[in-house]
């Protein structure tokens, strides 16, 4: 059974991924900052499912700590499923947030998943099998709904996934972008929002089970809250229809 590495496994969506993957029999590498929560989860998963669970305590906003996870991916038992889930938002508006907080958000939401993916994907391609799951957000498609760069970091997870799928799909690597809507986790409290004011909140087990249903179907993009998949398909078709029209040496007529 392939090994899986889950970032942000100490709570919320990541902890449910860890549970569901353990139930499927995967051995796990669990990554987050809270050692006590990782230890409790690992103990519980080993006891309930008889799997192996390693832990790496790492703050993924710190480049040196990301390197420790990269080293584990490159040197231990091969990782065949990478769940890039750890992520956050900031509590203040774009105008008020400190530069250092913005930089940390980009390191957590963008840089860390990029570097972990690069560490894992070469081995997957050479073995001809493997999966990368990138947790984006519907906010990546609806950036007006939030302030600042959170939506942009989540849009990166979508376009990064599409680019990886194009490049590594032929080598046998499956890449899935998961776009949750509002889901009942602590991310809301951490980003200064009152969860009771959020409409259309999905329970985290429903979200992860839907994401895994999309995984099993090898969907490129899974949007659990979207009722009619044809809306996404039309959006993608419109994007792809533009592509042949980008290769023009002259500006479009409306600009001359
Ligand atoms: N909940 C939603 O409504 C929603 C909607 C769309 C997308 N998402 C995305 O879903 C993913 C998971 O979020 P969640 O809702 O489950 O949030 P959460 O409950 O706040 O959990 C976040 C996880 O990431 C870990 N984490 C946070 N900062 C970290 C850091 N600097 N280094 C390492 N690990 C860190 C946390 O563990 P430690 O604190 O122990 O480090 C925790 O395990 C995120 O990428 C988020 O953007 C969530």
pLDDT tens for 31-84 read 999 999 999 999 999 999 999 999 999 999 999 999 999 999 999 899 999 999
Residue 136 CA to ligand 1 centre (angstroms): 11
Q: Find the radius of gyration of the CA atoms of the chain.
A: 19
**pLDDT for res 56:** 98
The rounded distance, in Å, linking the Cα atoms of 150 and 140 is 8
Among candidate residues 17, 150, 156, 174, the one labeled active-site is 150
**pLDDT for res 50:** 98
Q: Is residue 33 in contact with ligand 1, taking CB distance under 6 Å?
A: yes
The secondary structure of residue 217, as a DSSP letter, is: T
Residue 186 CA to ligand 1 centre (angstroms): 8
Closest ligand 1 atom to residue 10 Cα is 43
The rounded distance, in Å, linking the Cα atoms of 73 and 67 is 10
- List the chain residues with pLDDT less than 50: none
Q: Is residue 59 in contact with ligand 1, taking CB distance under 6 Å?
A: yes
The secondary structure of residue 136, as a DSSP letter, is: -
Give the CA-trace dihedral at 220, 225, 230, 232, to 10 degrees.
-50
- Who contacts 197 (Cβ-Cβ below 8 Å, separation ≥6)? none
**pLDDT for res 87:** 98
Q: Is residue 214 in contact with ligand 1, taking CB distance under 6 Å?
A: no
The rounded distance, in Å, linking the Cα atoms of 220 and 214 is 8
**pLDDT for res 191:** 85
Q: Which domains does the chain have, with CATH numbers?
A: 3-228 (3.40.50.720)
Q: Is residue 35 in contact with ligand 1, taking CB distance under 6 Å?
A: no
Is 156 labeled as catalytic in the residue annotation? Answer: no
**pLDDT for res 225:** 98
């Amino acid at each position: 059974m392939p090994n899986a590495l889950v970032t942000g496994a100490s709570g919320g969506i990541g902890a449910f991924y860890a549970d569901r993957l353990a139930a499927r029999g995967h051995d796990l590498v669990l990554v987050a900052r809270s050692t006590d929560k990782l230890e409790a989860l690992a103990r519980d998963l080993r006891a309930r499912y008889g799997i192996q669970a390693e832990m790496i305590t790492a703050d993924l906003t710190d480049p040196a700590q990301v390197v420790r996870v990269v080293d584990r991916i490159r040197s231990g038992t091969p990782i065949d499923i990478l769940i890039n889930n750890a992520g956050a938002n900031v509590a203040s508006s774009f105008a008020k947030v400190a530069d250092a907080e913005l930089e940390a958000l980009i390191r957590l939401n963008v840089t860390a998943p990029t570097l972990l993916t690069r560490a894992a994907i070469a081995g997957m391609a050479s073995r001809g099998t493997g999966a990368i799951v990138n947790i984006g957000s519907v906010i990546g498609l609806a950036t007006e709904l939030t302030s600042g760069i959170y939506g942009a970091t989540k849009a990166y997870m979508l376009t990064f996934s599409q680019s990886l799928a194009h490049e590594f799909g032929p080598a046998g690597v499956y890449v899935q972008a998961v776009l949750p809507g509002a889901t009942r986790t602590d991310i809301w409290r951490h980003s200064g929002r009152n969860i009771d004011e959020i409409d259309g909140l999905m329970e985290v087990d429903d979200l992860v089970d839907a994401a895994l249903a999309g995984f099993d179907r090898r969907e490129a993009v899974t949007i659990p809250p979207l009722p009619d998949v044809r809306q996404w398909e039309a959006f993608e078709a419109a994007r792809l229809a533009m592509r042949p029209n980008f290769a023009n040496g002259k500006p479009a007529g409306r600009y001359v």
